Structure 1
Amino acid sequence: MSVQPKVRMTADEFLAWAEGQPGRHELADGEVFSMSPERVRHAVTKFAAQTALRDAIRACGIPCKMLPDGLSVRVDEQTVFEPDALVHCGGRLDPDATTVPEPLIVVEVLSPSTKHVDTGFKFQGYFRLPSVQHYLILDTERRTVIHHRRGAGDLIETRIAASGDLILDPPGLTLPVEALFAEP
């Protein structure tokens, strides 16, 4: 990510501005950041994760949707993130919406330029949203998943997995770790 030489923006200002901009951007504490171009490893892993989530939702038969990157999550009035994938289990979304309210599962694929942001600032931001139950951080170099899940009270539980299944409950999904890193 690189900071843009712009004035500070609110989430509403950012979302209006971003619709007409080339490339992808995020807003962090009122500052606009351009997202770096993706590497093949990042893109392949992101697609595998999206596919694995979609397949797990279908297999489970639950009324949820996997939504790919390109859609934003408003964390607060100064912060808007664009995750690599998310799962929404609420009501029907407006087909023209650019933001997804109340995501249940959020996925980020680590890249060299964003590792510290994904594991720090975004981790804290996503869990400020009461709807977020699971935050999956995919480490492509180690082929591991850092699974943060909301526990009782204000507890966030963390598991690092290189194999086996992730149990994402709610909403009741079983997600094989290997599927998150499979070649599409």
Structure 2
Amino acid sequence: MVLPQTHRHISPEEYLQGELESDIKHQLIDGEAYAMAGASENHNLLSGNIFSELKINLKGSPCRTFMSDMKLRVADDFFYPDVMVVCNEDNLDSYYKTAPTIVIEVLSKTTRKFDQSAKRLRCQNIPSLQEYVLIEQDKGEIQLFSRAHNWQSFYYYLGDRINFESLGISIAVEDIYERVDNEDVLSFLQQKQQEALQTAS
């Protein structure tokens, strides 16, 4: 997206047209377009794993699961969530969604602060949103903020099952971290192997 030479803010219409023409994805925040950097291997694995688990568990339901190529519109801001689930969509535009039930972000060094604070607070203002989820890629930890509990956060670790109350499903944290390379995952797998050997002996 080629930004205007003047420093005026970009309208949602200009942004959407620019994204159709651009080879690089941008987020629109307070009228400013920000190019998105490429993601790490762990980031991609985590996004793909949680997407796959949700899609399998939601098969046959009215809910649809989207990955990072689908935009989320919040007022006049536009984001690309790593994963989101939409159950009751009232927006007919095929390039963005406005009524997600769940938004999931995999944290990285460059986006951590924004995902944990400003983006989370903006998303929590979406009437349809029930859960906002942050997944660590450098350790085995998932934080879930729940509207049903006044946006209180809950933490889940390897060996736990994360409960998505709004969808009526739960997913093993171990499955979300499948093939992810970090110290927590390595330690967890080693412990499981030791326990299996002890049980077999």
Query: Are the counterparts in 1 of residues 74 and 98 from structure 2 also a CA contact under 8 Å?
Result: no
Secondary structure of the residue that 2:175 maps to in structure 1? helix
Task: Confirm or deny that 1:146 pairs with 2:143.
Answer: yes
Task: Confirm or deny that 1:90 pairs with 2:77.
Answer: no
Secondary structure of the residue that 2:143 maps to in structure 1? strand
Secondary structure of the residue that 2:120 maps to in structure 1? helix
Aligned residue runs from structure 1 range 105-116, under 5 A: 105-116=102-113
Question: What is residue 118 of structure 1 aligned with on the other side?
Answer: 115
Query: Are the counterparts in 1 of residues 10 and 31 from structure 2 also a CA contact under 8 Å?
Result: yes
Residues 127 and 92 from structure 1, CA distance in 2 versus in 1: closer, same or farther, beyond 3 angstroms? closer
Question: What is residue 163 of structure 2 aligned with on the other side?
Answer: 167
> What amino acid does structure 2 have at the position aligned with 1:23?
I
Residues 7 and 143 from structure 1, CA distance in 2 versus in 1: closer, same or farther, beyond 3 angstroms? farther
Question: What is residue 97 of structure 2 aligned with on the other side?
Answer: 100
Equivalents in 2 of 1:137, 1:48: separation in Å?
14
Q: Percent identity?
A: 22
Residues 76 and 174 from structure 1, CA distance in 2 versus in 1: closer, same or farther, beyond 3 angstroms? same
Structure with more of its chain in helix, by fraction:
2
Task: Confirm or deny that 1:129 pairs with 2:126.
Answer: yes
What is the deviation of 1:10?
2.5
Query: Are the counterparts in 2 of residues 25 and 35 from structure 1 also a CA contact under 8 Å?
Result: yes
What is the deviation of 1:171?
2.2
Equivalents in 2 of 1:103, 1:156: separation in Å?
16
**Unpaired segments of 5 or more residues in structure 1?**
none
Secondary structure of the residue that 2:101 maps to in structure 1? strand
Can you list the C-alpha shifts for 1:81-130, whole angstroms capped at 9, x where unaligned? Answer: 11011111125975x71101211011111111111111011111110101
Question: What is residue 73 of structure 1 aligned with on the other side?
Answer: 72
> What amino acid does structure 2 have at the position aligned with 1:167?
N
Query: Are the counterparts in 2 of residues 4 and 31 from structure 1 also a CA contact under 8 Å?
Result: no
Secondary structure of the residue that 1:103 maps to in structure 2? coil
RMSD: 2.2
Structure with more of its chain in strand, by fraction:
1
Task: Confirm or deny that 1:176 pairs with 2:175.
Answer: no
Query: Are the counterparts in 2 of residues 48 and 183 from structure 1 also a CA contact under 8 Å?
Result: no
Can you list the C-alpha shifts for 1:16-56, whole angstroms capped at 9, x where unaligned? Answer: 21111111110111111111111111111111111111122
Task: Normalising by structure 1, report the TM-score.
Answer: 0.87
Structure 1 stretches of 4+ with a deviation exceeding 2 A read 3-7, 10-13, 91-94
Question: What is residue 46 of structure 1 aligned with on the other side?
Answer: 47
Query: Are the counterparts in 2 of residues 146 and 158 from structure 1 also a CA contact under 8 Å?
Result: yes
Equivalents in 2 of 1:156, 1:10: separation in Å?
31
**Bigger Rg, which one:** 2
Query: Are the counterparts in 1 of residues 89 and 97 from structure 2 also a CA contact under 8 Å?
Result: no
Residues 56 and 37 from structure 1, CA distance in 2 versus in 1: closer, same or farther, beyond 3 angstroms? same
Aligned residue runs from structure 1 range 14-53, under 5 A: 14-53=15-54
Secondary structure of the residue that 2:110 maps to in structure 1? coil
